[in-house]
Amino acid sequence: MMPFPVTTLGPQRTPPPPEHYGISSPISLAPPRETDCILTQKLIETLKPFGVFEEEEELQRRILILEKLNNLVKEWIREISESKSLPQAVIENVGGKIFTFGSYRLGVHTKGADIDALCVAPRHVDRSDFFTSFYDKLKLHEEVKDLRAVEEAFVPVIKLCFDGIEIDILFARLALQTIPEDLDLRDDSLLKNLDIRCIRSLNGCRVTDEILHLVPNIDNFRLTLRAIKLWAKCHNIYSNILGFLGGVSWAMLVARTCQLYPNAIASTLVRKFFLVFSEWEWPNPVLLKEPEERNLNLPVWDPRVNPSDRYHLMPIITPAYPQQNSTYNVSVSTRMVMIEEFKQGLAITHEILLSKAEWSKLFEAPSFFQKYKHYIVLLASAPTEKQHLEWVGLKNEFITLAHVNPQSFPAPKEKNSEVLSIDLTYDIQSFTDTVYRQAINSKMFEVDMKIAAMHLKRKELHQLLPNHVLQKKKTLSTEGVRLTALDAGSRDLSVGSESSTPVSSLPAASQTGPVPGSAPGGNSRGPAASVSGVQFPEVSSQQANPSDSPGGVASESLLQAAAQPAVPPAPKPMVTRVVSSARLVSHPPSLQYTLVSEFLMLTMHFMYIFIRK
C-alpha cells in the first residue's frame, strides 16, 4: 500500500490516553473545552478561502498519478533487471517503489502544490540508469511535460509535470536485491553501504515518517501545521534558503508543540505554539526525540563534537539518523525577526481567545514599506529570461538587524543615539564579487549578466513599484530625498511622493531599453529590483563625496539609471554613506522564481542568493 495521506475535516478523534512524547514530560494533559472546539471550527472556516485544503476529487487525482508513476518505476526496474541478465526468479520479485515526503506525505499540501517523491531501487540499478533510461521512459510518456534532469545538484533530481501536477523525483539505490512493498525507510540498517547522495535522498522520507510517528494526534498536528505554515507565508518568514524556516522546520516546531500539549486541539495548539517559541531560550535545540548513534560513521549534529555546530543560532534537529540541523541558514537577524513574529502571533491569538479578534487577523499580510524610510535596491539584468538573476543580502557591523524579507517590525527605542558613518562599499563589493564567482563556478554566467546597487528613500519607490501597488496605505512624509545608484557612477535624484509596499521587479514602463549587449527585440531581461528596507530613527542621509568614487554624480532619474550599462564582473561600486544609528531590513523580491540551491553561500555576515528565472 502506498503512503498517500488523506486529510479529512470531520469530527476530532477522541484524544489518546496520556502518553509520553518527546524528550520531556508534557506541559499539560488538559482535554479540549467546548470553547476550544468552537475556535477550532472557526479556524477551519478561516483557512478554507486560502486554499490550504484540497478537494477530494483533486486528492484522488494525485493518488492516481502517483500510482501510474509507481507502476512506471516497477516496469523500468524490471527492464533494467532483464538487460543485466538477472535470474528470472529475481526479476519476478524485484520490486521498486515510489515514496512521498514533504507536505504531501505530511498531509498538509495545498491546492496546486507539487509533490516530493523518492524512487527506491535495488542494488543493481545505478543512478546513471535513473538519469538515462528512466528519464527516456518518462520522456515518451504522453502525460509527462516539462521534463528536466538536475543530475549535478546537491540532491540530484528529475523534475516533471505529470498530468498537470508538478513532481520532483529523487533516487536512492538500496543494498537490497529486491524492494519489498512493505519496506519501512525508517530502518537505520538500510543506510549501510550507501553513498552520500542516496543517504541525502532518503533523508526527506525518513524525517517525514519520523515526525508522523512522534506526534500524539496526527489530525490535530496537521490542522495546526496548516495554520502555522499559512501564517509564516503570510508574514514572509517561510524560506529556508533566505535564512528563515522551511517546511520541515515548521513541521518539527508544530510537532514539538503537540508533544508538549498531547490532548490539545488545533485552536489551542496554535496559541501554545506562539507561547512556547516566543519564550524559547535559543540556541537550545528543539528535539523531537533523543539523538541516537548508529555507528555508521555518518556526520550528525553534535555541538560537543563539531565546533561549527556551536555557532548555530536556532537549531531544530531532524529526528531521523543522521540527525541534522534544518536551520543552519538562520542568522542573528532572521532569528530576531521570527521571535518578534512569534510574540505578535501570541498577542493576536490572545485577542482571539478573548473574542476581541477573529482568526483572519492572524493571517493578515504586513505592509513592509510603511515602516522604513531607507532602502537598498539591487538591480539585476541578464540577456534572456532563463538567465535572469535576482539576489539580496547585506551586512554591516553598525547594522543590528538584516531582514531578508518584506516584513515590518517596530523599531527598538533608541536612547542617546550615536551618529555613525555606515559605509557599505566593502559589503556591496563582496556581495557582487561572490555572485559573479558563484555564477562562473556553476557555469551559469553569461557575458551580459549584470548587477547594480543603489540606496534610496521611501519617497523614491514610486519609480520602481507599479501604480496599483502604491495606491495602498500611503504614509505621511513628503520631504525631498536623495538617491545614489551604485553602478559605474552615482546619481543624485530628488523625488517627491511617498510610497510603500513590496517590490518584485521594475514595472514594464520602467524597462525602457534592452539590456546592453542584447539584440534588439530579443528575449532579453531588463533590470529587476530587489528592495531592502532600512529604518533609521531621526536619520540624516549624507551623500558621499563624488570625488571619493570612480563615477562622479549625475542628476538623472532612477529609470534612466536602470537602463545604464550595468556593472561588469567584479565591479567597484560606489556606496552612499548613511549617517545614523541604523537598523537594516533586507527584503527579497516577491516575484515568482525558482531558487537554485547550488548558488547559495551563507556566512556569518552575508547571505548570497543566486536565482535563475
From 163, 168, 188, 433, the catalytic residue: 168
Where do the H-state alpha helices sit in 131-195? 135-140
CB atoms within 10 A of CB 269: 26
> Is residue 289 annotated as a catalytic residue, yes or no?
no
152 by Cβ neighbours in 10 Å (0-12 / 13-18 / 19+) ranks as exposed
Shortest CA distance to 474 belongs to which of 501, 456, 493? 501
The CB-based long-range contact list for 16-22 (8 Å cut-off, 24+ gap) reads 16/216, 16/217, 16/262, 18/262, 18/263, 19/216, 19/262, 21/214, 21/215, 21/216, 21/258, 21/259, 21/262, 22/214, 22/256, 22/259, 22/260, 22/287, 22/288, 22/289
> Residues for the chain: how many in total?
613
> Is residue 229 annotated as a catalytic residue, yes or no?
yes
449 by Cβ neighbours in 10 Å (0-12 / 13-18 / 19+) ranks as buried
Q: In this structure, what are the phi and psi dihedrals at residue 336, rounded to the nearest 5 degrees?
A: -60, -45
From 36, 81, 97, 103, the catalytic residue: 103
> Is residue 114 annotated as a catalytic residue, yes or no?
yes
Beta strand 553-554 with 421-423 is unpaired
From 21, 104, 219, 229, the catalytic residue: 229
Three-state SS at 143? coil
CA distance linking residue 502 with residue 485, whole number of Å: 20
CB atoms within 10 A of CB 582: 20
The CB-based long-range contact list for 75-81 (8 Å cut-off, 24+ gap) reads 75/137, 76/133, 76/134, 76/137, 77/121, 77/122, 77/125, 77/179, 79/133, 80/124, 80/125, 80/129, 80/133, 81/122, 81/124, 81/125
Facing residues of 317 across strands?
A: 325
From 74, 114, 135, 360, the catalytic residue: 114
> Is residue 518 annotated as a catalytic residue, yes or no?
no
Three-state SS at 533? strand
CA distance linking residue 581 with residue 354, whole number of Å: 39
Q: Which three cell numbers stand for residue 127?
A: 543512478
Secondary structure string (H, E, C) spanning 312-331:
CCCCEECCCCCCCECCCCCC
* Encoded amino acid at 131, one letter: F
- What's CA 430's distance to the chain center, in Å? 23
Number of H helices, E strands in the chain: 14, 18
Residue entry with cell 561572490: 434
The CB-based long-range contact list for 548-551 (8 Å cut-off, 24+ gap) reads 548/574, 549/489, 549/490, 549/574, 550/488, 550/489, 550/574, 551/487, 551/488, 551/489, 551/490
From 21, 104, 238, 372, the catalytic residue: 238
> Is residue 146 annotated as a catalytic residue, yes or no?
no
The 8-class DSSP code of residue 30 comes to P
Shortest CA distance to 249 belongs to which of 102, 393, 118? 102
Facing residues of 555 across strands?
A: none
> Is residue 81 annotated as a catalytic residue, yes or no?
no
User: Which residues participate in catalysis according to the annotation?
Assistant: 103, 114, 116, 168, 229, 238
